[in-house]
Structure 1
């Protein structure tokens, strides 16, 4: 009788794992989806270990590890978004690890109005000026990103270097990869784009 009861309990754990797995299909929140998948994997690990179903045990341990890591990433991103304020200083230095380094002399034009969009730039050293807008961009900032969010795919202004400048150039492929791999950078870019859009609208009106 005790043996039957124990087997029933183990089987109940297996059915609980199935229920958690089915519940994931009704989730709209990625965090709760990951939580349910993790709970399902934990139940399947217990179930397969007790019944010695080794292939199932192996795959569920792997899935448990992967989903636990993804859950950690989601929670970290949520904390980042929560703690970022308008007064916090944006950090774009991650672009140096992905971009192509270019050294440009003072007075040289980086790109002209109407040129096709191919890259955005992070300024490691120096200073650039956006012509016609009386705007200068110092080191530690990015520029040229607005074109990636513009359907015209053309530069909206000419940019030249006020002094000797070192930039890191990111094409669209590298920019997309950096946003995916570094959520902090992606959030900083979105905040910058929003601020510049608001500023441009205010200037227009």
Structure 2
């Protein structure tokens, strides 16, 4: 059997294996396995194009291999960063690549209580205050994420800019998209939001206890 026949059979076998990978990807619901099988298909198709010197296929598959590898790296990094956030200081630095920047002026109200909630915010600089509770949020805080978990998707408090600063915002639809692409992300995000909810409840309990103590001291004997 000459070299041309070997190349032809190798190409046929490679195309068959690549087709199996492609069919397998159609049955997958999550992004990480999809990217992995896409990479395998790219490698097989690239390898089978070498014996027949099909440079066009080689170039296309090389580009697709780089794209799939990069996207897989992004998703794995996202999951690692969320895990790290859950197990440490609950920082949401990992969401920055998916957020849009916005400058805020002093006195500006970013959202009002009971209005429809569509995004959550990350405070980069400036001073911001929750109007109803009087709580001032520090730089690096996330606000508005619990509206996504609320059945009515409404704001529970108003947010005012006390001192000009900058925020980053991400829409709930983007967060939902990340969840659909990778259920692991959704799981860790839920844990993160739950931890923040318990932190908020703890802060409110402390404020209530302080208020009760002040009232007791002010009460005449």
TM-score clears 0.5? yes
Cα distance change of structure 1 residues 200 and 51 upon mapping to structure 2, 3 Å threshold: same
**How many residues are matched?**
193
Structure 1 portions without partners, runs of 5+: none
1:101 aligns with 2:103: yes
**CA–CA distance in 2 between the matches of 1:32 and 1:111?**
39
Summarize the alignment of residues 152-191 of structure 1 with structure 2, pairs less than 5 Å apart.
152-160=152-160, 164-168=163-167, 170=169, 172=171, 176=174
Q: Which residue of 1 aligns with 2:212?
A: none
User: Is residue 114–residue 154 contact of structure 1 (8 Å, CA) maintained in 2?
Assistant: yes
Equivalent residue, structure 1, for 2:127: 126
Deviation of residue 9 (structure 1)?
4.1
- Pick which of 59-68 and 119-128 moved more: 119-128
Q: Could you tell me which residue of structure 2 aligns to residue 197 of structure 1? A: 197
SS at match of 1:164: strand
**Closer, same or farther: CA 94–21 of 1 in aligned 2, 3 Å:** closer
Q: How has the CA–CA distance of structure 1 residues 145 and 104 changed in structure 2, closer, same or farther, with 3 Å as cutoff?
A: farther
1:196 CA displacement: 3.7
2:114 aligned counterpart, secondary structure: coil
Considering only aligned residues, what root-mean-square deviation do their CA atoms show, in Å?
4.1
Q: Is the 8 A contact 2:147 2:155 kept in 1?
A: yes
Judged with a 3 Å threshold, the aligned counterparts in structure 2 of structure 1 residues 81 and 17 are, in CA distance, closer, same or farther, namely same
- TM-score, normalising length from structure 2? 0.61
CA drift at 1:192: 5.1
Could you list the per-position Cα deviations for residues 22-71 of structure 1 after superposition, in whole angstroms to 9, with x for gaps in the alignment?
33344455433322222222221122232234443343233222212222
Tell me if structure 1 keeps the 8 A contact 2:10–2:48: no
Contact persistence 2:15–2:45 (CA under 8 A): yes
Say which is worse superposed, 59-68 or 121-130, in terms of deviation. 121-130
Counterpart Cα distance in 1 of 2:153 and 2:193: 16
